[in-house]
Structure 1
């Protein structure tokens, strides 16, 4: 499957200019919002913003198209002329080609684990931040609810049980959990390397991705953090790599193979280990269905993918239902899904509700709208509104209003949207600043609490009193390294690394994925946009979520180099 076509420059310019305009718009508005705290969407501001957006966006479109065409033509020339490689690179390529799949997989796995081992020893038995106090509490009380994935809570419970009954302590069980989690993550990354090797990806790509896996600091922290996001990331990577591999295989048949089964396994895993995994899958199912309906070639391939997607989706939901039934787990009230309306209604209330929080409050909101908001947000919790995170208000919401008075709730929301559109936009921009702009720095401190360490972009804080009572305690085997890693995380040191910091900030990844999708369309590899549909679905859930956190964006950080290498590769092994 060696494509030769590429879109004419004018079409490429249009596509990349649209993307460039979106990038400039969000970069500018996020910068303005961060500097002033509020944007007044006057005609003058809108006009100047649109002018900058169009001029700079089109400039980026022309520049991007020139780069894509130049790189494409250079690659074509190198392929046609058989351009010679440097001697060292040729030796590396030949050495890699001689390695078997088993050697590549286990070699990659071993080097990843060796690179992460010092961090494991430093943070032994693991970083018990994020949801650890809540999930261990459910385990100790044998009372489960689905705010955190039930399957992950049960997985953790099994590891703690093994620790207490086999290794002699709950703390050893937590260390065992961390080791298994590291194995899952490194195993999915090693599988990615295996597929890259099988598809004869350039040796430079393979080496760079392996080194990135070993030494990218966020892999260190997340591999030893007790959180569902790490396990979800492993299954998401397995799913994306397997899907890209299936597209390269291009087998026009109904009978599923091993790649289909691995893709299905990744799908079931990502549904089980994050509550929003199923929503990302709905987007993939929609795109797969459209591909099957309108794809002119390889109908059996698209049909098989649709069947595998649908079957894996149903299996994931069935397993979740069975686990809920077996554990008698309580369904949550879904307030997480209301994070964005909570932020928007709170902002409208403090700017227009006459609650005397801000001097700018003009008290122009209708009494009926105020009444519903006060029923929805209890104890005037909108006074605690934080533009960057919904949690201070969210924990005081009465979701009964949105669920059982939905008609009234929607009417008030739409009325406020038409009456105060600028405030609604500002609330969404402020909450998602870290996702939408690579130049944003507010994401680094959105979780900070005065007087409490370990709540930076990389969270390492333990609720020590709570966890110690449950037999889980810090027992670092390498205290000096522990202090160095804590300092790097606490001080958000990644922001002080010129250029390289954009590999760490969350706002880079949305635009990198969008740019990748645009390039795939330009070079006529539209079929490889299918894995990106999963990423699009996942991003959709994040953009309507409560805040920007590194663990939320980590799955797409992890997957990008593997997906990029696979969908832009020029050769495949039959």
Structure 2
């Protein structure tokens, strides 16, 4: 029954080894788009091979000779080039493994290149039968389903995720706290005033569990662990909810199990689950929103209970990250259009959500003394672009230069400017006169546009260096490489419950695999998810029967769009909400492809 699937898995494995060998040999990173092209090429060549049959002795002899030649060629390439390609590895074991991967990869590359003429012939004759999945579609109809009820799928998935996150919690006990986390903690204990710079809604949640833990244990470190465990449970349940929707949408065993593997075993999910960042619960809220939108899209008429839940989720979406609020606003026209068969109910829900957020962010926070983020915080990209013009020593008119010096001291701008980090320039503005920009927005918008017209290349380069990693995959940045609690004066210290060299080394290897293994490395790359969202949105709008599902991708695209115009740095966690909704997004595309293929065959 699973014969076709096993053959396809073998084909995928061979294509992966070919890709890995070439990636190491050529010295490109695992996030380089070429790795995807390599994989696609050798996967397609593997499918061509299925159509080639040699029953005569001459054909078998040709295969043997080609195999022998492949061994010689791959050995030569490995010896003369591969040895140098692995010199960058610090470990002798890693160098040996690299050599073996290069040899195996190059051998399979040469073996598969034998089918290149067949591929070229089929392309020129417009015969794409080698890509047909009719047999797999027929098998798909007769496959087994998960032998669990919906509630059990959700519960089992959540428990598995929680158990997989638990070792990280024990190692990072009471949780990972960076500078952002400590700023929120200082608000909770009253050292600094409450601020919505880091969403106050998230700070309040931390405060609730922290004070609960403090009341129970009397220890500030143990109290922090109460929030960490609560976050782990919440994220595990959100993962279970997505796995359940994948089961409902795609069916079978493979898709929901793969989704569960992604959530439970990809290490950055465990690291984020025990890190006190707003991005983590925000991702869970987005996951639940996506699940609810799927449920609503599959119903013929609007249900008020769904609409009330969507109201709650959209308000939370808007309060847990500032770009969540802007993404929601961008999605409103599309929600009204795609759900126009329930236009009145949707319009009421949307209006109520917007009104609630405005009231909470306005009068409620003001009366509570909550400080809002300053205007400078939203100017990461334009400030960086203008700074790039100054750093490049471009010619400016006296009037333009006067507008700039009215705000900042440009003496040390060359030393302070960092192409991939906007906070330095923002702090330079804050140290000067940010109120000048805020009180003369029109004038400084004109300055920004004037310099853009004069030096568009500088603006584009500044944009790409700052946020290009959200659309281009081959950008270097760490993912999940955080540990412990940042040094502080409040008595918060990391107190691991498990440890030792084996644990430390194991975690280090698991994190580093994302920068060592091709294809898998794309899971650690924000830009890869951006393109998946784009392709998924096109697929739904072009071929999907249920266009309402497009709202899920539009929400993801809106969040990415906010990063492209306002993010202060390339950071995987900023796109984490998009990442965690991806199994659902991909599952929708699988169904669209299945429906299209079923029509064709």
User: For the superposition of Structure 1 and Structure 2, which TM-score range results when normalised by the shorter chain?
Assistant: 0.7 to 0.9
Which residue of the partner structure matches residue 438 of structure 2? 403
The aligned counterpart of 2:254 is: 204
> Displacement, 1:125?
0.5
* Distance in 2 (alpha carbons) for counterparts of 1:461 and 1:472: 14
**Higher relative contact order at CA 8 Å, sep ≥6: structure 1 or structure 2?**
1
Q: Distance in 1 between matches of 2:346 and 2:129?
A: 32
For the 8 Å contact 2:282–2:321, the answer to whether it is kept is yes
Q: CA deviation at 1:385?
A: 0.8
Q: Secondary structure at the match of 1:432?
A: helix
TM-fit CA distance, 1:311: 2.4
Task: From the superposition, tell whether residues 170 and 429 of structure 1 become closer, same or farther in structure 2 (CA, over 3 Å).
Answer: same
Structure 1 residues 337, 68: closer, same or farther in 2, change over 3 A?
Answer: farther
Deviations 1:311-339 (CA, angstroms, capped at 9, x unpaired): 23333343444651453111221322100
Instruction: Look up the match of 1:447.
Output: none
The residue that corresponds to 1:522 in the other structure is: 542
**1:137-156 alignment to 2 at 5 Å?**
137-140=186-189, 141=191, 143-156=193-206
Does the aligned pair in 1 maintain the 2:210–2:223 contact within 8 Å? yes
TM-score normalised per structure 2 = 0.72
Q: Is 2:529 the partner of 1:509?
A: yes
- 1:381 to partner: Cα distance: 5.0
1:497 to 499, 509, 517: 517
Contact 2:196 2:372 (8 Å CA) reproduced: yes
Picking from 494, 499, 503, the partner of 1:474 is: 494
The residue that corresponds to 1:367 in the other structure is 398
1:386-438 deviation digits (Å, cap 9, x = unpaired)? 11110111112143122111222112111111111111111111111211211
Contact 1:169 1:471 in 2 (8 A): no
Q: 2:578 aligns with which of 552, 556, 563?
A: 556
Structure 1 residue 487 corresponds to structure 2 residue 508: yes
Deviation at 1:300, TM superposition (A): 3.1
Larger radius of gyration: 2
Of 256, 271, 280 in structure 1, the residue corresponding to residue 304 of structure 2 is 256
Aligned counterpart, 1:275: 322
Q: Determine whether 1:436 maps to 2:471.
A: yes
Structure 1, 104-113 or 398-407: larger mean CA deviation: 398-407
The Cα of 1:486 is off from its aligned counterpart by: 5.9
Map 1:228-267; keep pairs closer than 5 Å: 228-249=278-299, 251-253=300-302, 255-257=303-305, 259-267=306-314
Question: How big is the alpha-carbon RMSD for the aligned residues of Structure 1 and Structure 2?
Answer: 2.9
TM-score normalized with structure 1 length? 0.75
Aligned pairs, number: 465
Q: Structure 2 stretches of 5 or more lacking a match?
A: 1-31, 35-122, 596-601
Return closer, same or farther for 1:146/1:203 CA change in 2, 3 Å cut-off.
same
Provide structure 1 residue ranges, at least 5 long, that are not aligned to the other structure.
Answer: 1-25, 29-62, 293-298, 353-362, 445-455
Superposed counterparts of 1:345-356, under 5 Å: 345-352=386-393
Q: 2:423: which partner in 1?
A: 391
Report what 1:531 is aligned to. Answer: 552
User: Which shifted more, 239-248 or 560-569?
Assistant: 560-569
Cα separation, 2, equivalents of 1:440 and 1:463: 27
Q: Is the 8 A contact 1:125 1:174 kept in 2?
A: yes
SS at match of 1:133: helix
Give the Å deviation of 1:107: 0.9
Q: What CA distance in whole angstroms lies between the structure 2 residues aligned with 1:127 and 1:101?
A: 33
2:219 corresponds in structure 1 to: 169
Q: Is the 8 A contact 2:250 2:590 kept in 1?
A: no
Counterpart residue number, 2:354: 313
